[in-house]
Amino acid sequence: MHDAERRDVAYDEDVVSEVIRPAAIVPEEAANAILVELSLHDVSSGGLWQSEPSRWNRYDSPWRSASDPNGSTLIGSIQVAYGTPTKYEMTLYRVTITRRGQELGWRVESLTDEALEFGGLSLRECPRAGLGAAPRPLRF
């Protein structure tokens, strides 16, 4: 973790959810490679990932088909925003590990690193979003 990073971790009965602060920025070239690899490693075609417009989900086994998870269990999710901070970059801002993921030894860093490795990155190596100054307090 970088010195300037701050962790906001929430523990629920079934999940660990961590806000990545400052958010991790995936540069254009790495972003393109990650998206290609996520589609090649899709759960419906023998892989372990399912990418959606705002989330990348990692499962413990491939699905039988696109609509039949065949008992596969969600390990964790990475929430992502495309086209930010620039048109061709992506921002990773929250990671959630399910109870099943915790049982299998997954952590926020290991899940994030597995996805980022498709683009030759790790969470530690990702550029970080600049944190702006806190807003001024409201005064009535």
| Angle at 68 (CA atoms; ends 18, 15), nearest 5 degrees | 20
Q: Is 122 helix (H, G, I), strand (E, B) or coil?
A: coil
Per-residue pLDDT tens for 93-126?
999 999 999 999 999 999 999 999 999 999 999 9
Q: Exposed, middle or buried, 42 (CB in 10 Å: 0-12/13-18/19+)? A: middle
Band of residue 13 on the pLDDT scale cut at 50, 70, 90: low
Per-residue pLDDT tens for 17-57?
999 999 999 999 999 999 999 999 999 999 999 999 899 99
pTM: 0.83
Query: Token pair of 35, please?
Result: 């998206």
DSSP 26-83: E-HHHHHHHHHHHHHTBGGGT-SEEE-SSEEEEESS--SBTTB-TT--EEEEEEEEET
Query: Token pair of 134, please?
Result: 């806190």
Q: Partners of 57 in the beta sheet?
A: 50, 77
Q: Which residue carries 């993921």 as its tokens?
A: 101
Spatial distance between the Cα atoms of 42 and 78, rounded to a whole number of angstroms: 15
